Structure formats: C-alpha cells, structure tokens
C-alpha cells in the first residue's frame, strides 16, 4: 500500500483506502443448476468446469469479463507470469504470462462462458450481476453498497470467495492516496488534515462507505464479515501500477486494451496480438 | 467632415470590440499557437516549471540524509548524485540537452559548501537557484521553451497506426453521412414547405434534435442501442450495437444523421422560398411528375444551399467528437478528433496533437476546395 505511491525511494502520498477483487457468485443460480458453489480454494480450472456446467444448464452469461489489462492481471500473475519483468520490459509473451492471457481470452472465445457486461445487457459487471443476467463476476467491495441498495434480493443470496488461483494466488489492489501540493502555502494545516484523514477519517470512510482500511489499526477494527475476503486479498494482491522507465503507461494501457478487445471479437490471434505488443511497447511508454 | 468619418468608424469599432477581442483571444490566438506548437514538443504541464519555489536545504537533506550541522562537524564525504537530486528533490524535469548542460556546468561543490554553512534555508525559485549554481548557461533555465522539432511530429504521425485508423474512420463517417444528411434535409425541407396540416409542428419536431445537447442525446441513444434496448426489441436482434467493432460506427452515423438533418433543413427551407412558384406551375402544366419536379427543378435550384450544407456537413463530420467521446469504448472505432484529444490531454503530447490537428485542417481545406470547384455555387 505504501509502495504504490513511491517512486525511487521517495513517498509521494499516503493511501486513502483500498479495494481488492474477489469472486462474487449468485447462490440461487448455482442451486438451480445443481452446481457446487465456488470455494476459497478454487482454481481457475475447477471454476471453468463449474462455469461450463452452468452454461450447459442454460445460464446464458456465466461470468462477466472485462476487456481490460487491469482485470486480466490476476490471471497472468496466478499462472506465474507478469506484465513486465524486473527490467521493466514487457513480458506478456513469457510462457506463463501467455498461459494466463490465453486462459482469459479462451473464457470468451473458446469456452464461451465469459461475456462483456454490455453483451450481457448491462453497463458494468455490478449491474449485470444485480440483474441476475450473470452468475459470477469479479469485482471489488465497491459493489457491496451498490448491490445492497439497488438489488437487495441478489445481495442476500450472493456469496463472495477469494479469487481462484493457479500456481499461486493473485488479485488486484486498487488504491488512491492523499497528497499535499508542493506549492501550497498551508503545508502545516494540510499535514494536520492528512494525519486525520488516514486515521480517524479513514475509520469514518470504512464504516460509512464500505471501503477497506489501508491503515492497519483501522483495518483491525473493521470486523464486518463480508469484507474479510477482500482484506485477505491484500496479502497477495498486485497494485494496479505498471512500472515503466518514464512513469508513463496511459497510452500503453489503451493500446493493450484495444488488442484485448480485438481478441475478444476474434479479430486477431493471440500470437499476432503479442507480436504487436512486443514490437510497439517501447514506443507506447515514451 | 473627415473628423466625423473617423469618429463614426471609432464608434463602430468600439461596438464591435467585444466580439473582436474575444475572437482574437479564443479563436485566433489558439489557432496560431497550435500551428506553432505542432513543430515542437510542447507539454503544457511544464510551462511554469522554472517558477516553482522550493527550499534547497530541505531538498538536500532529503537527498543525502544529512543535516548542515552534521556536514560541518563530521567532515563527511557525500556521494552526491546531482542528476537524481535535480530530477526528484528539486523536481525539475530535464531533457537530454539540458541534462548535459547541468552535468557539465553545475557547481555541486559550491552547493554543498553553502548547504553546510546553512545558507540555503529559504525558499527560492528554481530559475534563481539554477542561475546561482550554473557556472555557464544559467540563462537557459529561466523560462520554459519547448524544443523545436522541425517536422518530427509529422513524420511520427505518418507512422502511427492509430492516426490512419482514426482518419479512415472519419473519412468513412463523412462519406456516408454527408450525402444522406443533405438529401434527407432537402426532403424534409420540401415536406415542411408544403401546405399540409400540422406543418409547423413537423418543422419543430424535425429541428429540435439539432438544438438538443449532444451529451443528452448520446445518453439516450446509449440506452436505445444497448443489448436490452429498443432497437434490439424492435428487430428481435441481440446485438451490442455500440461495442461490436462492425456496428459501432454505423450506429453513431445513424444517430448523427437524425440529429443534424433538421438543422440543414432550415437552410434548404430558406432556399426553397427563393424558388418562384411560377416555375412549379409551369412544370405542372408540362405534366411533370412529383419526382421529376424534385430532381430536375428543386435540386438544381438549391445548388448554392447544397454547396453550403455539403461543406458545413463535411467539416462537422470530419471533426465529430461528442458522440465518439461518450459512446465509443474501443479505440479501433475512434475518429481523428478523439485521437487528437487523447494525445493532447491523456498522453500529454500537446505538440504531437497540434501537428495532427494541423494535418486535419489541411485535409478538410482540400476537401472543401474540391467541393467548391465541382458544385458550382451559382445557377
């Protein structure tokens, strides 16, 4: 959590709170199809079998997958790969990374159990899950409040487990930070405010807004059982931050996402996509 | 007599002053700036970078981990990495050329001496700081000057795959939308010009989409085009119109035609008023059918308006942005103006984006020149 806001050994901000991804599933859909619930020890392969069962029994959109690198990283990492290597060079075509990448794409194109939210008739995965169009989704604690308020019946019959694993566990951690403007003329006052915001202030956020506390003391006090699976994820989560020599990743993100979308729609093969990414990555992070 | 003429002219200019000033500031100045920036690597975030104030003592303490007093007393030899200090602790981004100058001419030993004597504990602007410690070329660190790149930006855009994709999309968009929009506007104008009942209501209904906020229309059409939306229900299909790569642009084009046809209808309505009734009466007497009248009389006589609508329509279509920004999520389907936006505001490459904008301007200029040549504006 601290590392996410450090660059070359200098800290630029303190985490406000954090969110991790976990696996949500609709218990009643699983019951109707006679499929066992996913557990905390699920692997991607065993989950795939369950999703295929659901599809056979008539569930049209078993799982929602987003054509975004940020949601694909847990797959890449849990197969033992990584997006970039220790030299910050892109390593998506390393054998393990490629396996994870392939699995993610196959969910959509080969096994036809994964669908984009819009294909399932919703604006995002939370809505698709809430409308019971999808049986499974991967999302964060931000859905808890949303589902409780807008789709309470689904909230009451859903289960949440940790993200499935392959050779290791992986999930994403998303966080933002509080920072003080260098040019500020009220630095001392800002510092006092920040001290409050990461201690008592964070407590308020955690209780009222349902986010996860990045401050260890605050987190210890948050005993809401439904959030524990998200806290557990923090132990092995990857922060959403791809290190590059320049610190820039926005264009590379757009470009990689475009290739993922092409793969979802079968416009290119994975080898072609990887070739394009490898050839152009350096120009995208300039 | 002459004094009165001058006075009248002054009053005229005074009245026109507000609009002249605002055009100069908000239209002319940006256009000229963009033209200039397209030959540089301008990054607007760096404009003030030499004006930022900082405390050198704090910066050195953070970098080295030593206080001034410690340096004085203990006679320590510090491993001082000047470039990291400048980049991270002073917070000044340098390109290759300026880095070289700093490495050659920055007096680190003087800096550390002043630090250990406690002389640096006050806020100083980066430009003054650099002026003090650069033995030569300190004047290059006073004001941000973007680097002049000659035609590098233009070379780069020719090689950029997404430039060609987004330009192609914009062409495709214009090629289909402009003719259909123009024809539809003429038909609507002829209908609105007739004496049928409720014609005023129809005029309003046709025109209202063009004055509605494009953001609002985009939201509504997002719902209409979605999987559980009206279009799919009506045709019994199950297509995600806005996300499928093949249907995304056509869907937006349809929406655009619906939105802007009404606007051009007004232009044609005005043009229709100029066509004397006697011509139509003569045609009727000669036994011309409705369709013949339309194609052989109405359309040719509307040529000046058609030219105007075609040019305005082309300019608008080549620059279409709002709908793309709101509704297109796949960068394979973006148009050139969205490409410019992305580069300028998300990737921070304002110089490059300006170059693309300049190219777009030249392309539209060329197209409209051709249109003007072939659609004679007099009949």
Domains of chain A: 3-18+173-239 (3.40.190.10)
Put simply, whether A12 touches B (Cβ < 8 Å) is: no
**Does B332 reach chain A within 8 Å, measured CB to CB?**
yes
CB contact under 8 A, B52 and A250: no
Model pLDDT for residues A158-170, shown as the tens digit of each residue: 999 999 999 999 9
- Taking each helix axis as running N to C, give the angle between helix A69-78 and helix A250-264, from 0 to 180 degrees, rounded to the nearest 10: 80
DSSP class per residue in chain A: --GGGEETTEE--EEEEEEE-EEEEEHHHHHHHT-PPP-TT-BHHHHHHHHHHHHHTT-SEEEE--S-HHHHHHHHHHTT--SB-TTS-B-TTSHHHHHHHHHHHHHHHTS--EE-TTTTTSSSHHHHHHTTSEEEEEE-THHHHHHHHH-HHHHHTEEEEPPPBSSS--EEEEEEEE---TT-S-HHHHHHHHHHHTTHHHHHHHHHH--B--SHHHHHH---GGGHHHHHHTTTEEES----SSS--HHHHHHHHHHHHHHHTTSS-HHHHHHHHHHHHHHHT-
Please state which of the ranges A128-137, B51-60, B263-272 shows the lowest mean pLDDT.
B51-60
> pLDDT category, B330, cuts 50, 70, 90?
confident
For residues A138 and A21, is the Cβ–Cβ distance under 8 A? yes
The structural domains of chain B, with segments of one domain joined by +, span: 2-37, 53-141, 153-374
pLDDT for the residue A56 = 93
Q: Which of A116, A183, A267 sits opposite B52 (nearest CB)?
A: A183
Contact flag A183-B242 (C-beta cutoff 8 Å) = no
Name the one residue in this structure whose structure tokens are 């007599």. Answer: B1
Query: How many CB pairs below 8 A link A and B?
Result: 49
Encode pLDDT of B213-258 as tens digits: 888 999 899 989 988 888 988 988 888 888 888 889 999 999 999 9
- Tokens matching residue A86: 């220790």
Using a CB–CB cutoff of 8 Å, tell me whether B81 touches chain A.
no
The alpha-carbon gap from B12 to the nearest alpha carbon of chain A, in Å, equals: 46
User: What CA–CA distance (Å, rounded) separates A198 from B77?
Assistant: 38
Choose among A122, A182, A251: nearest Cβ to B347. A251
* A168/B contact by beta carbon, under 8 A: no
Determine the average pLDDT of the residues in B167-196: 90
Q: Which residue of B has its CA nearest to A256?
A: B331
Inter-chain residue contact B331 with A257, CB threshold 8 Å: yes
Q: What is the pLDDT of residue B379?
A: 53
Cα separation, A20 vs A232, whole angstroms: 9
User: Between residues 234 and 253 of chain A, which touch chain B (CB distance below 8 Å)?
Assistant: 248, 250-251
Beta carbons of B227 and A118 less than 8 Å apart: yes
ipTM for this prediction: 0.77
Nearest CA in chain A to B63: A10
Out of 1.10.3720.10, 1.10.630.10, 3.40.50.2300, 1.10.357.10, the CATH code matching B153-374 is: 1.10.3720.10
Mean pLDDT, range B345-363, rounded to an integer: 91
Report the share of chain B in percent with pLDDT over 90: 30
- Classify residue B235 by burial, with Cβ atoms within 10 Å: 0-12, 13-18, 19+: exposed
Confidence at residue B1, expressed as pLDDT on a 0 to 100 scale: 66
- CA dist B177 and B184 (Å) reads 10
Residues of chain A with C-beta less than 8 angstroms from the C-beta of B240: 116, 118-119
Are the beta carbons of B88 and A116 separated by less than 8 Å? no
**B245 interaction partners in chain A (CB closer than 8 Å):** 261-262, 265, 267
Question: What is the pLDDT of chain B when averaged over all its residues?
Answer: 87
B83 in contact with chain A, both atoms CB, cutoff 8 A? no
State whether residue B373 is helix, strand or coil: helix
The DSSP output letter for B143 is S
Distances (CA, A) of A257 to A71, A261, A263, B222: 10, 6, 10, 21
Q: What is the distance between the alpha carbons of residues B176 and A150, in angstroms, rounded to a whole number?
A: 42
The mean pLDDT of B314-336, rounded to a whole number, is 90
Q: Is B42 exposed, middle or buried (0-12, 13-18, 19+ CB in 10 A)?
A: buried
Residue spans of chain A under pLDDT 70: 209
pTM of the entire predicted model: 0.81
How many angstroms away from the CA of B63 is the closest CA of chain A?
9
Closest partner CB to A121 (pick from B91, B227, B331): B227
Q: Does B227 touch chain A (CB under 8 A)?
A: yes
For an interface test with B, give the residue of A65, A69, A117, A118 to mutate (most B CBs within 10 A): A118
Task: Enter the tokens of residue B37.
Answer: 């920036």
Structural element, H or E, at residue B53: strand B53-54
CB atoms within 10 A of CB B256: 23
């Amino acid at each position: 959590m601290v590392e996410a806001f450090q660059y070359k050994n200098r800290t630029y901000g303190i985490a406000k709170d954090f969110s991790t991804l976990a696996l949500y599933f609709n218990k009643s859909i699983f019951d109707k199809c006679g499929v066992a619930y996913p557990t905390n020890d699920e692997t991607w392969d065993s989950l795939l079998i369950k999703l295929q069962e659901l599809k056979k029994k008539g569930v049209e959109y078993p799982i929602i997958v987003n054509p975004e690198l940020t949601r694909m990283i847990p797959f890449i990492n849990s197969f033992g790969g990584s997006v970039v290597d220790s030299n910050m060079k892109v390593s998506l075509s390393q054998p393990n990374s490629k396996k994870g990448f392939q699995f993610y794409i196959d969910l959509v194109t080969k096994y036809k159990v994964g669908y984009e939210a819009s294909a399932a008739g919703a604006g995002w995965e939370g809505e698709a899950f809430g409308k019971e169009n999808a049986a499974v989704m991967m999302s964060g604690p931000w859905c808890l409040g949303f589902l409780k308020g807008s789709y309470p019946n689904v909230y009451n019959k859903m289960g949440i487990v940790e993200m499935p694993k392959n050779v290791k566990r992986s999930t994403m951690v998303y966080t933002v930070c509080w920072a003080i403007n260098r040019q500020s003329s009220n630095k001392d006052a800002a510092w006092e405010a920040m001290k409050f915001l990461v201690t008592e202030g964070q407590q308020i956020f955690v209780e009222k807004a349902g986010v996860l506390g990045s401050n260890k003391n605050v987190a210890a006090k948050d005993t809401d059982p439904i959030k524990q699976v998200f806290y557990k994820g923090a132990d092995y989560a990857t922060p959403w931050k791809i290190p590059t020599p320049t610190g820039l990743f926005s264009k590379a993100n757009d470009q990689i996402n475009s290739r993922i979308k092409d793969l979802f729609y079968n416009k290119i093969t994975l080898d072609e996509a990887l070739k394009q990414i490898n050839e152009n990555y350096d120009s995208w992070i300039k | 007599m002459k004094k009165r003429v001058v006075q009248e002219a002054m009053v005229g200019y005074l009245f026109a002053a507000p609009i002249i000033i605002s055009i100069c500031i908000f239209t002319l100045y940006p256009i000229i700036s963009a033209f200039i920036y397209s030959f540089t690597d301008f990054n607007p975030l760096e404009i003030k970078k030499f004006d930022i104030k900082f405390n050198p003592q704090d910066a050195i303490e953070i970098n080295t981990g030593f206080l001034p007093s410690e340096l004085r007393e203990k006679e320590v030899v510090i491993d001082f990495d000047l470039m990291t200090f400048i980049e991270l602790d002073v917070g000044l981004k340098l390109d290759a050329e300026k880095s070289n100058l700093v490495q050659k001419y920055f007096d680190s030993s003087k800096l550390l001496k002043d630090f250990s004597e406690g002389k640096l504990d006050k806020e100083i602007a980066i430009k003054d700081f650099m002026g003090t410690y650069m033995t030569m070329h300190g004047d290059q660190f006073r004001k941000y000057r973007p680097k002049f790149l000659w035609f590098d930006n233009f070379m780069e855009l020719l090689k950029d795959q997404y430039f060609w994709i987004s330009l192609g999309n914009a062409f495709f968009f214009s090629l289909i939308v402009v003719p259909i929009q123009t024809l539809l506007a003429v038909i609507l104008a002829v209908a609105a010009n007739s004496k049928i009942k409720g014609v005023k209501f129809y005029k309003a209904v046709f025109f209202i989409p063009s004055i509605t906020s494009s953001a609002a229309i985009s939201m509504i059409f997002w719902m209409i085009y979605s999987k559980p939306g009206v279009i799919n229900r009506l045709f019994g299909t199950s297509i995600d119109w806005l996300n499928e790569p093949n249907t995304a642009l056509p869907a937006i084009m349809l929406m655009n035609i619906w939105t802007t046809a009404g606007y051009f209808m007004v232009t044609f309505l005005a043009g229709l008023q100029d066509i004397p009734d006697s011509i139509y009466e003569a045609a009727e007497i000669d036994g011309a059918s409705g369709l013949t009248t339309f194609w052989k009389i109405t359309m040719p006589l509307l040529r000046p308006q058609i030219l105007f609508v075609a040019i305005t329509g082309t300019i608008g279509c080549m620059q279409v942005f709002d709908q793309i920004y709101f509704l297109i999520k796949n960068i394979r389907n973006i148009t050139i103006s969205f490409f410019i936006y992305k580069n300028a505001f998300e990737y921070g490459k304002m110089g490059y984006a300006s170059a693309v904008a300049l190219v777009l301007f030249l392309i539209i200029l060329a197209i409209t020149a051709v249109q003007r040549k072939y659609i004679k504006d007099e009949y």
